[in-house]
Amino acid sequence: MSELLYKDLSYRLVGCCIRVQNTLGSGHKESVYQKSLAIELAKDNIRFEEQKTLNMLYDNKKVGIYRPDFIVEDKIVIEIKAVEFVPKDYERQLIYYLKGTNYKLGYLINFGTPSLYAKRIIWSG
């Protein structure tokens, strides 16, 4: 059995998300959760970039750009939502971020429900 990709960093990241969810609950705007998560990541000494421009590549040529909510430790793409229901389109959006870049792991985080929704997506294509 192989080791979980970025296991320790993932554990810390999800812990930060849980602290935000436990403190704020659901019902706020996405921007509130994004700012709060940035505070938690910084408190946990996790390096991150917000709204980093990622080049979308096709045949090794730039064909567009993406701007995910966070890039964590230059390893994990984070996309944040604050909705009551997470449609499959949001998962596909994160898969496109991974597929069109060099990142292998992403998290779709939804703060819009009473319990935190954290979907871990690995791209190995």
Two tokens, residue 16: 């930060």
Domain ranges for the chain, please list them: 7-122
Q: Within 10 Å of residue 8's Cβ, how many Cβ atoms?
A: 8
Query: What pLDDT, on a 0 to 100 scale, did the predictor assign at position 39?
Result: 98
CB contact at 8 A, 56 and 67 = no
Give residue 32's identity as a one-letter amino acid code.
V
- Enter the pTM of the model: 0.91
Predicted confidence (pLDDT) per residue in 54-110, tens digit: 888 888 888 888 899 999 999 999 999 999 999 999 999 899 889 888 899 999 999
Q: Is the pLDDT of residue 1 over 70?
A: no
**DSSP annotation of 85:** S
**Taking the mean position of all CA atoms in its chain, how far away is CA 121?**
10
**Taking the mean position of all CA atoms in its chain, how far away is CA 53?**
14
Q: Is the pLDDT of residue 46 over 70?
A: yes
Query: What pLDDT, on a 0 to 100 scale, did the predictor assign at position 32?
Result: 97
Separation between Cα atoms, residue 37 and residue 80, nearest integer Å: 10
Nearest C-alpha neighbor of 19 from the set 2, 3, 1, 38: 38
| Weakest mean pLDDT among 12-21, 59-68, 113-122 | 59-68
Enter the CATH code of domain 7-122. 3.40.960
Q: Is the pLDDT of residue 9 over 80?
A: yes
